[in-house]
Amino acid sequence: MNKFLILVVLSSILSVTAQAQKIGYVDMEFVTSKMPEYQKAQAEINQFSEKWAKDIQEKFREVDRLQRAYMAEEVLLTDELKRKRQNEIKEKELEAREYNNKVFGMNGMLFEKKKDLMKPVMEKVQRAVDKVSAQRRLDFLFDKSSDFVMIYTNPKHDYTDYIMEELGIELKPAAAASTASQTVAQPTKK
Protein backbone atom coordinates (compact mmCIF):
# COMPACT_ATOMS: atom_id res chain seq x y z
CA MET A 1 0.00 0.00 0.00
CA ASN A 2 2.85 2.39 0.86
CA LYS A 3 4.52 1.77 -2.52
CA PHE A 4 1.26 2.45 -4.31
CA LEU A 5 0.75 5.70 -2.40
CA ILE A 6 4.32 6.84 -3.17
CA LEU A 7 3.80 6.07 -6.87
CA VAL A 8 0.55 8.05 -6.97
CA VAL A 9 2.15 11.06 -5.25
CA LEU A 10 5.21 10.98 -7.51
CA SER A 11 3.16 10.64 -10.69
CA SER A 12 0.88 13.52 -9.69
CA ILE A 13 3.89 15.74 -8.91
CA LEU A 14 5.50 14.85 -12.23
CA SER A 15 2.31 15.43 -14.19
CA VAL A 16 1.80 18.87 -12.58
CA THR A 17 5.43 19.75 -13.34
CA ALA A 18 5.12 18.55 -16.94
CA GLN A 19 1.92 20.52 -17.48
CA ALA A 20 3.54 23.69 -16.17
CA GLN A 21 6.38 23.59 -18.69
CA LYS A 22 6.04 25.73 -21.78
CA ILE A 23 7.67 24.48 -24.97
CA GLY A 24 8.25 26.11 -28.33
CA TYR A 25 10.37 25.85 -31.44
CA VAL A 26 12.05 28.12 -33.93
CA ASP A 27 13.36 27.58 -37.46
CA MET A 28 16.90 28.93 -37.04
CA GLU A 29 17.82 28.16 -40.64
CA PHE A 30 14.98 30.39 -41.85
CA VAL A 31 15.86 33.13 -39.36
CA THR A 32 19.54 33.23 -40.27
CA SER A 33 18.79 33.09 -44.00
CA LYS A 34 16.93 36.40 -43.64
CA MET A 35 19.77 38.13 -41.79
CA PRO A 36 22.02 40.33 -43.97
CA GLU A 37 24.92 39.80 -41.53
CA TYR A 38 24.64 36.04 -41.92
CA GLN A 39 24.47 36.27 -45.72
CA LYS A 40 27.54 38.54 -45.78
CA ALA A 41 29.50 36.17 -43.51
CA GLN A 42 28.45 33.18 -45.62
CA ALA A 43 29.58 34.93 -48.82
CA GLU A 44 32.94 35.72 -47.22
CA ILE A 45 33.35 32.10 -46.11
CA ASN A 46 32.56 30.92 -49.63
CA GLN A 47 35.22 33.27 -51.05
CA PHE A 48 37.88 31.91 -48.70
CA SER A 49 36.80 28.35 -49.42
CA GLU A 50 36.99 28.84 -53.19
CA LYS A 51 40.42 30.52 -52.96
CA TRP A 52 41.84 27.74 -50.79
CA ALA A 53 40.29 25.05 -53.01
CA LYS A 54 42.01 26.62 -56.05
CA ASP A 55 45.33 26.69 -54.18
CA ILE A 56 44.98 23.01 -53.33
CA GLN A 57 44.00 22.10 -56.90
CA GLU A 58 47.09 23.91 -58.14
CA LYS A 59 49.29 21.90 -55.76
CA PHE A 60 47.79 18.62 -57.01
CA ARG A 61 48.17 19.76 -60.64
CA GLU A 62 51.88 20.29 -59.90
CA VAL A 63 52.09 16.73 -58.53
CA ASP A 64 50.32 15.42 -61.63
CA ARG A 65 52.67 17.38 -63.92
CA LEU A 66 55.71 15.96 -62.09
CA GLN A 67 54.33 12.40 -62.38
CA ARG A 68 53.71 12.77 -66.14
CA ALA A 69 57.19 14.22 -66.66
CA TYR A 70 58.71 11.36 -64.65
CA MET A 71 56.82 8.72 -66.65
CA ALA A 72 57.92 10.30 -69.94
CA GLU A 73 61.59 10.36 -68.88
CA GLU A 74 61.67 7.20 -66.75
CA VAL A 75 63.37 5.10 -69.41
CA LEU A 76 66.21 7.58 -69.76
CA LEU A 77 66.87 8.08 -66.02
CA THR A 78 69.39 6.26 -63.87
CA ASP A 79 68.17 4.41 -60.78
CA GLU A 80 69.47 7.21 -58.56
CA LEU A 81 67.62 9.90 -60.58
CA LYS A 82 64.47 7.74 -60.55
CA ARG A 83 64.54 7.55 -56.74
CA LYS A 84 65.23 11.28 -56.51
CA ARG A 85 62.26 12.13 -58.78
CA GLN A 86 59.95 9.67 -57.00
CA ASN A 87 60.89 11.21 -53.64
CA GLU A 88 60.29 14.69 -55.04
CA ILE A 89 56.83 13.63 -56.27
CA LYS A 90 56.00 12.01 -52.91
CA GLU A 91 57.09 15.14 -51.05
CA LYS A 92 54.96 17.40 -53.26
CA GLU A 93 51.98 15.08 -52.85
CA LEU A 94 52.45 14.96 -49.09
CA GLU A 95 52.75 18.76 -49.03
CA ALA A 96 49.48 19.09 -50.98
CA ARG A 97 47.65 16.65 -48.67
CA GLU A 98 48.94 18.41 -45.55
CA TYR A 99 47.84 21.77 -46.90
CA ASN A 100 44.42 20.31 -47.71
CA ASN A 101 44.10 19.03 -44.12
CA LYS A 102 45.38 22.33 -42.75
CA VAL A 103 42.66 24.21 -44.66
CA PHE A 104 39.68 21.86 -44.75
CA GLY A 105 40.44 19.43 -41.91
CA MET A 106 38.88 19.44 -38.47
CA ASN A 107 39.80 22.70 -36.77
CA GLY A 108 41.38 23.81 -40.05
CA MET A 109 41.64 27.32 -41.41
CA LEU A 110 38.13 27.19 -42.93
CA PHE A 111 36.64 26.01 -39.64
CA GLU A 112 38.39 28.81 -37.75
CA LYS A 113 37.36 31.44 -40.32
CA LYS A 114 33.76 30.25 -40.17
CA LYS A 115 33.82 30.36 -36.38
CA ASP A 116 35.23 33.91 -36.39
CA LEU A 117 32.75 35.25 -38.94
CA MET A 118 29.66 33.49 -37.57
CA LYS A 119 30.28 34.15 -33.88
CA PRO A 120 28.87 37.72 -33.80
CA VAL A 121 25.85 36.69 -35.88
CA MET A 122 25.06 33.69 -33.72
CA GLU A 123 25.54 35.70 -30.53
CA LYS A 124 23.00 38.23 -31.82
CA VAL A 125 20.54 35.43 -32.59
CA GLN A 126 21.15 33.86 -29.18
CA ARG A 127 20.42 37.16 -27.41
CA ALA A 128 17.12 37.39 -29.32
CA VAL A 129 16.28 33.77 -28.45
CA ASP A 130 17.05 34.42 -24.78
CA LYS A 131 14.93 37.58 -24.73
CA VAL A 132 11.92 36.01 -26.49
CA SER A 133 12.16 32.88 -24.32
CA ALA A 134 12.17 35.02 -21.18
CA GLN A 135 9.31 37.25 -22.41
CA ARG A 136 7.18 34.26 -23.42
CA ARG A 137 8.20 32.30 -20.31
CA LEU A 138 9.40 29.31 -22.31
CA ASP A 139 11.05 26.40 -20.55
CA PHE A 140 12.27 24.78 -23.77
CA LEU A 141 12.85 26.17 -27.24
CA PHE A 142 13.90 23.72 -29.93
CA ASP A 143 15.52 24.40 -33.29
CA LYS A 144 13.27 22.94 -35.96
CA SER A 145 16.04 23.04 -38.59
CA SER A 146 18.62 21.11 -36.53
CA ASP A 147 19.32 17.38 -36.51
CA PHE A 148 16.76 17.04 -33.74
CA VAL A 149 13.87 15.36 -35.54
CA MET A 150 10.44 16.88 -35.00
CA ILE A 151 7.81 14.66 -36.57
CA TYR A 152 4.96 17.07 -35.89
CA THR A 153 4.94 20.67 -34.80
CA ASN A 154 1.90 22.67 -33.85
CA PRO A 155 2.19 26.15 -35.41
CA LYS A 156 0.98 27.78 -32.19
CA HIS A 157 4.33 26.79 -30.62
CA ASP A 158 6.36 28.35 -33.47
CA TYR A 159 8.33 31.34 -32.17
CA THR A 160 10.27 32.03 -35.38
CA ASP A 161 8.36 35.27 -36.06
CA TYR A 162 9.05 36.56 -32.55
CA ILE A 163 12.79 35.89 -32.94
CA MET A 164 12.82 37.62 -36.33
CA GLU A 165 10.91 40.57 -34.89
CA GLU A 166 13.42 40.81 -32.03
CA LEU A 167 16.25 40.82 -34.58
CA GLY A 168 14.52 43.56 -36.56
CA ILE A 169 13.98 41.36 -39.61
CA GLU A 170 10.90 42.22 -41.65
CA LEU A 171 8.50 39.27 -41.67
CA LYS A 172 6.77 39.85 -45.00
CA PRO A 173 8.72 42.40 -47.04
CA ALA A 174 6.95 41.55 -50.33
CA ALA A 175 3.49 42.10 -48.87
CA ALA A 176 4.51 45.41 -47.30
CA ALA A 177 6.05 46.62 -50.56
CA SER A 178 2.97 45.74 -52.62
CA THR A 179 0.67 47.48 -50.11
CA ALA A 180 2.84 50.60 -50.23
CA SER A 181 2.84 50.67 -54.04
CA GLN A 182 -0.97 50.32 -54.12
CA THR A 183 -1.33 53.25 -51.75
CA VAL A 184 0.92 55.45 -53.88
CA ALA A 185 -0.71 54.41 -57.16
CA GLN A 186 -4.26 55.39 -56.14
CA PRO A 187 -5.31 58.83 -57.47
CA THR A 188 -6.75 61.35 -55.04
CA LYS A 189 -10.42 62.28 -55.43
CA LYS A 190 -11.69 65.84 -55.23
pTM value is 0.66
- Say how far residue 91 (Cα) sits from the centre of its chain: 35
Distance CA 179, CA 58 (A): 53
Assess contact for 126 and 143: CB atoms under 8 A: no
Neighbours of 61 (CB within 10 A): 11
Q: What is the CA radius of gyration of the chain?
A: 30
Whole-angstrom distance, CA of residue 39 vs CA of residue 35: 6
Q: Is 58 exposed, middle or buried (0-12, 13-18, 19+ CB in 10 A)?
A: exposed
Task: pLDDT band for 181, please (50, 70, 90 cuts).
Answer: very low
Q: Residues 105-128: what's their mean pLDDT? A: 93
The answer on pLDDT for 10 being more than 60 is no
| Integer CA distances (angstroms), 89 to 28, 66, 84, 157, 171, in order | 47, 6, 9, 60, 57
Average pLDDT of span 167-185: 56
Which residue type is seen at 74?
Answer: E
Q: Which residues pair with 24 in a beta bridge?
A: 141
- Return d(Cα 61, Cα 93) in angstroms, integer: 10
d(CA 63, CA 98): 13
Question: When comparing pLDDT for 6 and 82, which is higher?
Answer: 82
Average pLDDT, the chain: 82
How much of the chain, in percent, has pLDDT values that exceed 90?
50
Spell out the SS3 assignment of 71-117.
Answer: HHHHHHCCHHHHHHHHHHHHHHHHHHHHHHHHHHCCCCHHHHHHHHH
Mean pLDDT of 152-178: 74
